[in-house]
Structure formats: structure tokens, C-alpha cells
Amino acid sequence: FFLSLKLENKTKGKLPKQVCQVVLDHFEKQYTAELGDTWRSVRDVLTSPSCWQYAILLNKFSHCTELKNSLHVEGYHPAFQGGLPYLPAAFKCYIRRTPGRFPAQKHQAGKLKEYYLLNAASLLPVLALEVKDGEDVLDLCAAPGGKSVALLQCAYPGRFHCNEYDDLRSRWLEQTIESFIPDPLVNLIMFSKLDGRQIGDLKPELYDKVLVDAPCSNDRSWLFSSDTHQATLRLIQRKKLSCLQFQLLRSAMKALRPGGSLVYSTCTLSKAENSDVINLILSSCSNVMPVDISEMAKGVSQEFTFLGGMQQHELLVLPEKGRAWGPMYVAKLKKM
């Protein structure tokens, strides 16, 4: 959310904010302990917006012939060419190794946008979910809508439920969908503003696939907190996030049909919000099993750098210069 706002600010010509020392000091201590020497190179990328890269997800519902030619001239090339287990033909993403970003398109009522600008790593949870035509899908924490748009580039769900608890973010989500998805398909999407922690009880065993792109301590945006007091509050509240994430994950599992799959993702490096949350759900729910996503990781190893030593059901994308994607944590689970 905050990253997207910052991108909008960049589009309007505003200079990047200064790194917040309070947050950096906190990250320095935590991530040096968790990542060791790797943290130094990651820190250099996260604190230098000038080296950040942006991917372009094409909208299959809009004609993009001239756009593809423009991207080629600008040095972009198709991503995800490494033989993925799941890559729908209509799913087209373009990247380049140099920093900078393509101009954003403004929202225009009644006119579909041709592309979505995003961090390429944020597409990995969508590809890991492997949605197929006719499946019932829940995007539990859907705003600002990028992953929902990406899911609809992959397949035509039988039922697609986009949920966002926050009112402002919910409106943003609906506008995003309106900007990318044609009316006949939008009419088949259910929007709700439910507390994600309650959805499992309200809609038990209703979905084949669930995406939990959980609220997290967004490392990129937090490092540029403009208000030191706000930054300090965020760091205090950070300790409570893993509890919320576990509750959301447990609720999502209840909403999942037996045999269904769930993908959990965050955009933080924090072990407490990533592996620890997944390990807790695996140890506390006897009907939940990990799903191996190592083949997907191999298939995208040209584009992304991953933290070593992870389990086969999880991956963590580490930003580095020339491949400044992430952070993005992805884990896949199945309900038995």
C-alpha cells in the first residue's frame, strides 16, 4: 500500500524521501542477526530507490501491440522464461535489468489500462497459487489489487472473492479492478470488507484456492517513513503483526476446501512474519501440509535472488543490484 503511494508520488515528480534512521537502526540489528552478511547488500538496494526496478504486467483484456514494440525499444524483455511448472499463455510480464520505470497510466472511467507497474517478485505468489479456469478463489487481503489483476490474467475463476477490510483501501481495490478488468468479468467478482479473521467461520470450505497476501512490515516503505514518531509506533506495533498474520492464515484455512491450496506472502524479510507464522500453522493444524515450490524457484532463478537454507515449501526473494526485486516471501500449503 505505502509502496504504491510512493510510486504515485514519484510519478508526480516528487523526490524520494530520506531514509528514516530509527527504522534503519532497527532493521540493522534484526536483519544482521537473521541474514548475516547478506543484509549489507540487501540494505544497499532497499535504501537506494535510484537502483529499484519495476516490471510491467500486460493486461490481456486490452490491446497492447504498440506497447510491446515500445517496451522492446526501451530494453525490456519477457520475464519468467525458465520453464515454470505453471505459466498461462496469456500471462505476460516484461522486465529489464536497468533501473527506472515506465510511465504510469492514469485511471480513466470506462477505459481499460494496458499494463500494471509492479515489483516483479509480487507475481510469484500468483504463479505459486496455480489458479485454473472454473476454480473458486479468495483473495483475502486484496488491496491495492495488483495480485487480483494478475490472477485474472491467469484464469477465469468460477467465483472470485476479493476482500479488503480497510474502507479506503477497499475503494482503491475496486478502482484498480475497474481499470483493468472488463465489465462482464467485473460483474462476476464479489467485493467485501469483512474482517479476514472471520471469513473462515462465515464461509467455511467454500474455496479451491486462497491467497493470503498478509499485512506486514513493508521493509521498503518503512525505511522511508517521513515521521519519526510514526516510525517508532510502527516498530512497536510490528511485534503484533505475526499474531494477526497467524489469525488470518488460520481463517483462510477454514475457508479452504479439503484438497485446496493456499499461498501466503509478505513483502518483508522478517522471519517472525514469514517462516515462524508458517511453522506455527503447520504445527497447530494437523490437516495442513506444506507444498513443494522449489521447481518454481528454479524456473525463475534467472530473474531473482533467493535466500539460501529455506524449506521446499517457501522462498524469500532478496533484492540485489541488477535484480532489485523483493523482498517477497512466499509459502504454499494444502488442506488435507
Q: What confidence score (pLDDT) does residue 65 get?
A: 77
Q: What is the DSSP letter of 100?
A: B
Parent domain of 236: 21-335
Residue at 11 is within a domain? no
Q: What confidence score (pLDDT) does residue 14 get?
A: 58
Residue at 27 is within a domain? yes
Residue at 263 is within a domain? yes
When pLDDT is cut at 50, 70 and 90, the band that residue 16 belongs to is: low
CATH of the domain at 153: 3.40.50.150
Instruction: State if pTM tops 0.75.
Output: yes
* 285 in active site: no
Residue at 287 is within a domain? yes
Domain count, the chain: 1
Residue at 9 is within a domain? no
Of 20, 154, 162, 267, the catalytic one is 267
The residue that leads in pLDDT, 29 or 9, is 29
Using CA atoms, how far residue 238 sits from 26, 166, 234, 235, 241, in Å, is 11, 18, 6, 5, 5
Q: What confidence score (pLDDT) does residue 107 get?
A: 83
Residue at 234 is within a domain? yes
Q: What is the mean pLDDT of the chain?
A: 93
Inter-residue contact 69 to 136 (CB < 8 Å): no
Per-residue pLDDT tens over the stretch 153-212: 999 999 999 999 999 999 999 999 999 999 999 999 999 999 999 999 999 999 999 999
Q: Which residues are annotated as a binding site for S-adenosyl-L-methionine?
A: 141-147, 164, 195, 213
Q: What confidence score (pLDDT) does residue 9 get?
A: 43
Residue at 7 is within a domain? no
Q: What is the DSSP letter of 166?
A: S
State yes or no: cis peptide before 327, omega within 30 of 0: yes
* CA terminus-to-terminus distance, the chain: 33
Residue at 15 is within a domain? no
Per-residue pLDDT tens over the stretch 97-137: 899 888 989 888 788 999 999 999 999 999 999 999 999 99
